[in-house]
Chain A
Amino acid sequence: MSLLVKGLRRGIASTALLGLMAGFSPALAESTIVMGVEADFSRMDPAAARTWNTFKVIRHVYETFVEEDLTKGGDAVPEIVPALAESWDISEDRKTYTFHLRKGVKFHDGSDWNADAAKFNLDRMTNPDFEYFVPASPGLMGWVWGDLESYAVVDPYTFTITLTQPNAEFLRRLTAGGSGSPRMVSPTAVATFGNDGIEQNPIGTGPFKFVERVPGERVTIAKNPDYWNPERIPKTDRIILRAMPEVSTRELAIMSGEVDIIGTPSPDSIAMLEAQGLQLITGPSPMIYVMWFNTKDGIFKDVRVRKAACMAINREEMALYQRMGYAQPTWGVLNPGGPGYDPEFRDCDYDPEGAKALLAEAGYPDGLDTRMDWTFGGGADVNTKGDAEWLQRDWAKVGIRAKIEMFDNNAFWDMMSAGMRDGTGITSASWGESTFSWLDQVLPTTVMPPNCCNSGYYDNPEMDRLLSEARAAGSEEEMVVKLQEARDIVAEDMAFSSYFATNSVYVAVPGIKDFRLAPQHWFDLTSIVKE
């Protein structure tokens, strides 16, 4: 008996000692930052990866022809800068892009980046007959490859992509992600590990190399010291991104110092977190809370009711008190950080008395009863139920008595694909991008149920025409004119509105420096350091 105890004790002591040694030696040698993110990651294959959270990781591992420069932060729309293409030419008819590829760039496995690698990746994303085709890719990436006509290798360092129609946002869309991302994986790695093997061996050209993934726990990335752009060689050796879906766990973890930085605390906790001596890092985000009105609903088919609902919301107060100032009021369907956004635009003014009068005119002098279908959201959404209750109260004041029904995010989007339910007047979710690709998914008649997400049955062919013209626009100015025209028609019909755009909010321990936020759903981790 005592022998057993002794043996156990020795065993425990030696494991502990080993653990200590294993634990301390690398910690001394290299700098590590631990980040608590809002959800577990999706796939690591860029051709099939979902969610903005996942793109936060993979945009550092893989690259594409061009990149959005997020290293500077600030409010301005990030500049498009060269990445795997040194430069590019756009043809006279604006349909053909000729990329002059950067020479001497190597994937993390040592293989070369060149036009053949570009073709391999385009085949992988778009050509169903290709050996390494990713079947999920076309469904996920219509927003970037929807207008693709052809692509070709001109010479080892020249690659062309031809579109069926001009797309003013094509370069910016190339830099984006969240529903697939058009980024380049090493063809050698795909051939070696197979299509699914990329999940455990994500090999790109980016400033960070993938180290390991423990599903449900963390992803670790490490500095790529041989990165082609000396300005973007990471300042920190190792970054561990921990999935922490429970917001109170994230907050306690940053307070106890277990993680160095967290994303999206609850707005109600921010003052308390700052009181602990933690630093608050906020930046603009293209995320907007959009409202769909059900234009088929017996009550809400009357535009006067929809306008009254818009007029009943005190957006300034809501942003200030419900979101504690970490949101800005918005009107209409264009989002801050996206093309054509105008902070002065109003689709309605706050006017509860006017709203009551409109309702009376529409035949509801004693008010009306309806339902709000709401989602708990995912990723960077917090306390959406609180938002719903705030709106419910504002609406009740003018006589719109709404019942709230909360859905988990998956069930919510299934419902949106099926179309808003009978008896549901209003629904809402966060969306918005730095491109207007998301409007293609919300406004046109082609995405009415059973497609997603013109879920309130807004039947206006003008939207199809204007969005198509905005894509084909010859200049950004022309594109903006078309988008604003669409915005004004939507406001006139009051088919959609919005109430606020949230900021990106991060909380970090005092030692964290140079974590910069640009108006985007993701960020650049090459500059962040811990002192």
Chain B
Amino acid sequence: MQILQFTFMRMLSAIPVLIGVTIIVFLAVQLVPGDIALSILGRMASQEQLQALREQMGLDRSLVVQYGIWFTALLQGDIGTSLSQQLPVAGILGPKIVNSLILMAGSLVIVLVFGFLLAVLSGAKFRSMTDRVVVVITLVLASLPAFWLGIIMLYFFGFKWKLFPISGMYNVASPGGFWDLIHHLILPAAVTAAGSVAVVARVTRSRMIDVMAQPYILAGKARGLKRSQLVLRHAVRNTLPTFASIGGLQIGYLFGGVIFTEIIFNWPGIGLQVYDAILQRDIPMIQGCVLVVAVVFVIGNLLSDIAVYALDPKKG
């Protein structure tokens, strides 16, 4: 019951955040230099034609009015119409969000599994050989820019050794279902995950080291508990809230990170879409993409807060 209440309160507090997000998204796009009318009509349009279009689109009205119109439509689920394609943004973004979520979920699995394993391996025995190796590995992972790592991985795994396909989600000429998807997913998910694996491993490791120094671990040792029992049942349990909280934060970062990975691997998600939209200066599309990323970030935080609360052995 308590957790439901907590969830409800937490969701209420997300509302002002989301409204703030819409304002920032709206204003940020206004700050981008350039003329929407010009990007629709192209450089051959005359001044009169441009002015007529501006009036038709309401671009000559005040920012507050424009925001009001945009926000009202947003509440009705209308994110706008893509300028470059004249299709509803929501309809285009729907499948892209799913694709990005698939990539993000794949990365999250990698982040959680490897982040956790590395943390437990290293944190259980501070300054051991394993610990040192993990510290170095995570340092390297955290320092690699995704764009560079992606191209290197593409070259070796995709091109040189031909272990994985290079671009897209499916074989376009003859799509092959679930395993085809997994096959296409592994490389981009690994690249997206690299930085976050390091962060999760590092933070969870510190917590693990703290926990291992706690009196109750010492007490357990004194009572003759086996080391594996101590680590797995007592220490790990107490690092879970930290792990869940840092892991949950990664949801947002991964969703931001997929933008780069999607461009390199031509993954048809929201990142590739926002890149195309920026190239074509498709303002409603850019707004839609940024809004979606922001909402996913907020939801990710919400979920991780709830998970932290649920996993905390000390609550109530």
Contact = CB atoms under 8 A, between A and B. Distances in A.
Do A and B truly interact? yes
A441 B45 CA distance: 10
A196 B281 CA distance: 20
Contact of A244 (B56, B178, B266): B266
B196 to A, nearest CB: 23
Contacts of A416: 43
A233 to B, nearest CB: 21
B280 A139 contact: no
A417 interface: yes
B264 A136 contact: no
Contact of B273 (A135, A136, A215, A240): A215
Contacts of B33: 411, 414
A219 to B, nearest CB: 11
B180 A249 contact: no
Given A48-B86, A135-B56, A450-B47, A34 B172 contact: yes
A258 B44 contact: no
B176 A217 contact: no
Contacts of B45: 139-140, 142
Interface stretch (B7-15, B110-118, B153-161, B213-221): B153-161
B96 A196 contact: no
Interface in B157-177: 158-159, 162, 165-168, 171-177
B120 to A, nearest CB: 23
Contacts of A41: 85
Contact of B44 (A26, A39, A135, A452): A452
B106 to A, nearest CB: 15
A12 interface: yes
A467 to B, nearest CB: 14
Contacts of B175: 19, 22-23
Interface residues of A, number: 67
A100 interface: no
Contacts of B95: 214
A252 B84 CA distance: 28
B92 interface: yes
Nearest to B81: A196
B307 interface: no
B188 to A, nearest CB: 11
Interface in A30-89: 32, 34, 39-45, 48, 50
A245 interface: yes
A140 B41 contact: yes
A16 B276 contact: no
Contact of B279 (A39, A136, A179, A242): A39
Given A48-B86, A256-B159, A214 B44 contact: no
A243 B264 contact: no
Interface in A197-219: 199-200, 214-218
B198 to A, nearest CB: 25
B108 to A, nearest CB: 18
A253 interface: yes
A50 B86 contact: no
A39 B162 CA distance: 26
Given A48-B86, A139-B42, A215-B92, A27 B179 contact: no
B268 A216 contact: yes
B126 to A, nearest CB: 35
A287 B77 CA distance: 43
B86 A19 contact: no
A248 B174 contact: no
Given A45-B86, A140-B45, A244-B266, A249 B96 contact: no
Interface of B: 33-35, 38-47, 49-50, 52-53, 56, 81-82, 84-87, 92, 95-96, 151, 154-155, 158-159, 162, 165-168, 171-180, 263-266, 268, 272-273, 275-276, 278-281
16 contacts: A18-B177, A23-B174, A40-B84, A40-B280, A196-B81, A196-B87, A215-B82, A215-B92, A215-B273, A216-B92, A245-B276, A248-B151, A249-B263, A252-B155, A258-B172, A410-B39
Listed from nearest, the 10 A-B pairs whose CB atoms lie closest are A19-B177, A139-B45, A139-B41, A452-B43, A27-B174, A139-B49, A23-B174, A15-B178, A217-B268, A40-B276
Interface of A: 12, 15-20, 22-24, 26-27, 32, 34, 39-45, 48, 50, 135-136, 138-140, 142-143, 179, 196, 199-200, 214-218, 240, 242-246, 248-249, 252-253, 255-256, 258-259, 378, 408-411, 413-414, 416-417, 441, 450-453
